[in-house]
Amino acid sequence: MKILHTSDWHLGQVFYGYDRREEQQAFLEALAEVVGRERPDVMIVSGDVFHNSTPSAQAKRMYVEGMMRIHEACPMMTVVVIAGNHDSPSRLEAEDGLWRHVNVRVTGSFARREDRTADFSGHVVDVVRDGYVIGHVVAVPYASSRSFPEVSAGDDVEFRAEEGWQAEDRMALWFRGMSDHVKGLGDGLPVVLSAHLAVAGSDAEGHDDLVGGMDYVGAELLGDAYSYVALGHIHKPQTLAGGLARYSGSPMAVNFDECYAHSVSVVEVEAGEKPRVRTVRMPDPVPLVTLPGKEPGELEAALDALARFPADRPAYVRLNVLVHGLLPADSEMKAAELVRGKSCRYCCMKAVRAEVAGGREGRLDFTVQEMREMDPLDVARMYFHDVTGSEMSQDMENMLKEAVKMVRDAEQEE
């Protein structure tokens, strides 16, 4: 079975006030070309189709038109789409009945029986070639651990204490039950799991969701019934679990710190065999550029690098500035003026204070940009220390961490 694995499209992202439709349309057109050339049996989109849960009409139109071009490039291909943490499950699933007419299956939420317990069969999508089923995809949308359906006692899912399975852990119970269900199919065909989550040991370099923390799960929790695990959520392409699991990564950089190549993955799987993976680079018509470079430079050096940036080169630009004290009030205005008439777009200034380049301890004077990049728990720790003169207790840190998680889960479920 041949798979085209992609994820984290983030369609509709507005980047520092700039519309990214140009790059996103270029990606969708390039993806349709890859589909036409590779002729995969199935394309898997492992979540975060949109950048936010209420995408604009333009973003939705771009998605529909892009998916139709992809379908026309290979009409017999099955497409499996799951919801990510940036997507609205209900909005993504709203047109599922229409999408099925062009062989697209959308899974935004969990399948449940009448008694609200898990319906594992509702997550299995058959992949068909020439009228025959050649494999299956298990589609698992993003959810907080407490949002997984309960497993019915009638499912006869076995758990052994020595393996660390906890009866109260819904996520672990659900994945174990799903793995047992897949083993029960008994047809010997390859089965692919698609999920949107963070696996322990993955490299989340440059990831926005690191702010506030990210929940990781062990790869072993997902089960051992799969020929390939197509993951979404982490934007850096990488292979895990001895080659069995992979993040295809985002097809384009979502923020300035994603300083690596972006691609989609072409994967060939056979039951009992190790997946064979190839990557296909995606176009980058308007790259994200940091000046003067990864290491911060003095303000004048950064402004000089911006002044010398080629006038005909499209790019989003961030200045990485080493600051002594406070930035001059006109710094942003100077930077904006330097790109007037150029093809590049000035976005922001990352201020790194020289006196605390090795850490932020004891500081409460931050720029807006610094605050955006900080972990809320770090801010709380510093505030607590400033007010009380002592360190925050571990119990209080745990409570705040749980509060942050609950807010994020609630936002996802709205």
Residue 381: predicted pLDDT = 72
Asked if residues 38 and 266 have their Cβ atoms less than 8 Å apart, the reply is: yes
pLDDT exceeds 70 at position 70: yes
Model confidence at 360, pLDDT cuts 50, 70, 90, reads: very low
- Residue entry with tokens 């996802």: 412
Task: Report domain extents, the chain.
Answer: 2-281, 288-413
pLDDT exceeds 60 at position 367: no
Q: In what order do the strands lie in the sheet with 228-232?
A: 124-129, 132-140, 191-196, 228-232, 245-247, 238-240
Q: What is the DSSP string of 233-278?
A: S--S-EEEGGGTEEE---SS-SSTT--S--EEEEEE--TTS--EEE
> Around Cβ 309, how many Cβ atoms within 10 Å?
18
79-100 average pLDDT score:
95
Among the listed ranges 115-124, 212-221, 319-328, which one has the minimum average pLDDT value? Answer: 212-221
232-259 average pLDDT score:
96
> Which residues neighbour 257 within 8 Å (Cβ) at sequence distance 6 or greater?
205, 206, 207
Model confidence at 380, pLDDT cuts 50, 70, 90, reads: confident
Model confidence at 162, pLDDT cuts 50, 70, 90, reads: very low
- Distances from the Cα of 108 to the Cα of 94, 95, 198, 202, angstroms: 9, 11, 18, 24
346-367 average pLDDT score:
67
Question: CA-CA distance, 393 to 401, in Å (whole number)?
Answer: 12
Question: CA-CA distance, 292 to 299, in Å (whole number)?
Answer: 10
pTM comes to: 0.84
Residue 167: predicted pLDDT = 44
> Around Cβ 157, how many Cβ atoms within 10 Å?
19
> Around Cβ 80, how many Cβ atoms within 10 Å?
23
384-403 average pLDDT score:
70
Name residue 413's amino acid: E
379-408 average pLDDT score:
70
Better pLDDT: 215 or 173 = 173
Model confidence at 327, pLDDT cuts 50, 70, 90, reads: confident
Task: Assign domain 2-281 to a CATH class.
Answer: alpha beta
Going along 10-162, which residue ranges are E strands? 14-15, 18-19, 42-46, 78-82, 104-107, 124-129, 132-140
Residue 410: predicted pLDDT = 61
